[in-house]
Amino acid sequence: QVLLVESGGGLVQAGGSLRLSCAASGRALRSTNRVWFRQAPGKEREFVAAIGSGGRTSYAEFVKGRFIISRANAKNMVYLEMNSLEAEDTAIYYCAANQIPYFTGDNPTDYNFWGQGTQVTVSS
């Protein structure tokens, strides 16, 4: 059974930092790309960052220089370090994956494994 579980969300003041974690269970996702999406109230789910099995990263323009995605393959974990947070970063953050080792794009429909999400709230 494949399972993705996010953690690390919370309430933070603007300018602060949070570190999200995504734990994966199941051998099917051990060497695959992992992606973070987010969804704010009333908005569509949008791509945030991705990391391939070899460590190659991709970022949405609006998080470049502020967020860092990383992974610990031995633990089957992926992290999203979020710095200089802004009120506009408030959203539910989701970890997603498919069974492909490299980044396959920023369309949520490309990913068939999803976590339950973790809420990030940035107060201004």
Confidence of residue 115 (pLDDT cuts 50, 70, 90): very high
Contact 106, 60 (CB under 8 A): yes
Contact 120, 63 (CB under 8 A): no
pLDDT tens-digit profile of 5-16? 999 999 999 999
pLDDT score at 102 = 85
pLDDT tens-digit profile of 30-58? 778 999 999 999 999 999 999 998 899 99
pLDDT score at 78 = 95
Rounded Cα distance between 88 and 14, Å, is: 10
